[in-house]
Structure 1
């Protein structure tokens, strides 16, 4: 069925077909959607489905009576989504019922490139102007209103990638285009462009992007640049060391402490200040790696995934995966 026929079915109230996607020949992981060529009654019905497929389940409606046009170009880099979109005015809402039907827990970093937007979540309101960045938590309702034509880069990060950073107070906070958040935003925009022509280089830089997003979440939560304590710096070294060496079956407190140049007592104390333990951190990092492997290689045996992620065996992977994600690796793969 063509996109035009599909849009006509949706507008007529028939069961909608999945959005028609276009994969770029040079990069099959890059998907493009566009409402160009659809009739006025079809374009928005098509777009509403596309937004849900590219991001999370939401209700979308046009902000005013206009000829609607929208396009999205999305790709996934080691589990992190990058989506560039340009569109006519619209109003986007994620409600509790939609969250129940689509429980995927991700953090969306919205970087405004053109036009303005109003974001509301958890009682806070952020106005996004060009160059501004703000975070959205998919696990809680939010309201996003675009009064005019706009373009954005949206970076979609699984919540487990940022598991050591609380989202409390960090969402719907505008990080100014004249502040340090702009450095993070520019890095993400550049990484998205690099992804198009040099995926290998972009993959190598991705861990730095995730760490920068962690920092930006902290700035948003505190409303200003945080005071960097010795414990915070130690904690960051610990996280980086664990991420680099999580696949090593011999990784333990002695190895991490030696690798970070601290005593085991300092190691435990630094993590405890963030409400974490070394065992919990290693487990979360290994499970996050397992999630990426399961998504990228759905036919790979779980015993092999367990080995590559540093688990002692498939049973250990199963227990850790369920403890962190609330589901088994098989259920996660099927979903």
Structure 2
């Protein structure tokens, strides 16, 4: 992983450095900002590679950005780029007479070598995350010829935006990193979901079915992490949140060798371990109930079966390790 912050640069050089070294040479874009605002500029980013794709998160003061024909000629990418705006509103102009508004949560996808311009609508700082999937060497998914001429477009009206958002969250989640095989499958599924959103793939095609299962699995895990405390959380309830049936939920987890409930229990135990250490004054019983277990006996049985020791012993061992 690489990370950079303009804090490491002298204040009067920060914008010029970001524009020339980070913008032109690293991202292949043209950056513009009024001279009177440059003294207050700040920016940071971090980037890493995962299963052949590049993942990046960027935060900065608002500025105009474009990828011009000259930028593309100097640094061709031949990649599918999927991005999500986290903060900072503005307009995206792809030269197609259909500019669209971008705000927190907006999902955008397109080919890296199509020109665009981003124009902030306020001076508020922006933050976004992006996945760049090389079309020649990235994870496997069909590459129809239309991809090469795909301008950036808003995924919001596609019907797949919630699944694409769930896939991005899974890829960027440092608290639950994906294993290499699952990461590769997830990035390939992300690319296939973009094809579905653009009507460049059939929903019933095998790659599409695999992509939908993968994305739904990410979405279901995220529902579990948000609602693990609910004692009534079930495959039926979680499925209803996504508009799928209980049977479909079970089918989605079947290829993993686990199930909805075993996955939920693992998340609950993980959270219980965290709380046992972070909340030393809270009784074990209260932690068990707070993590969604319906009884103390169920909590102890599940914890012992997963961790190998009782909750009290786990807490004591964690304290001893912290002391020594």
TM-score bucket (shorter structure) = 0.5 to 0.7
* Aligned mates of 1:237, 1:33 — CA distance in 2: 39
Residue 134, structure 1, aligned to residue 108, structure 2: yes
Q: What is the CA distance between 1:168 and its match in structure 2? A: 7.0
- Residue 168 of structure 2 corresponds to 188
Question: How far, CA to CA, are the matches of 1:59 and 1:141 in structure 2?
Answer: 11
Residue 36 of structure 1 aligns to a residue whose secondary structure is: helix
Which of residues 143, 166, 171 is equivalent to 1:164?
143
The number of residues matched between the two structures is: 202
TM-score (norm 2): 0.54
Among 8, 30, 41, the alignment partner of 2:12 is: 41
Q: What does 1:1-335 correspond to in 2, within 5 Å?
A: 30-48=1-19, 49-55=21-27, 57-62=28-33, 65-66=36-37, 67-123=40-96, 124-147=98-121, 148-160=124-136, 161=138, 163-165=142-144, 166-167=146-147, 170-176=150-156, 179-194=159-174, 201=179, 203-220=181-198, 228=203, 232-234=204-206, 236=208
SS at match of 1:167: helix
TM-score (norm 1): 0.52
Q: Distance in 2 between matches of 1:80 and 1:189?
A: 15
Shift of the alpha carbon at 1:140?
Answer: 2.0
Residue by residue, what CA displacement relative to the aligned partner does 1:246-299 show, whole Å, maximum 9, x if unpaired? xxxxxxxxxxxxxxxxxxxxxxxxxxxxxxxxxxxxxxxxxxxxxxxxxxxxxx
Does the CA-based 8 Å contact 1:170-1:218 persist in structure 2? no
- Answer with 1 or 2: which has the greater Rg: 2
Partner deviation per Cα, 1:149-192 (whole Å, 9 max, x = no partner): 11000111112345523337853321228953132123212211
Give the distance between the partners of 1:54 and 1:46, measured in 2 at CA: 11
- 1:311 match: none
Give the gaps of 5 or more residues in structure 1: 1-29, 241-335
SS in 2 for 1:184: helix
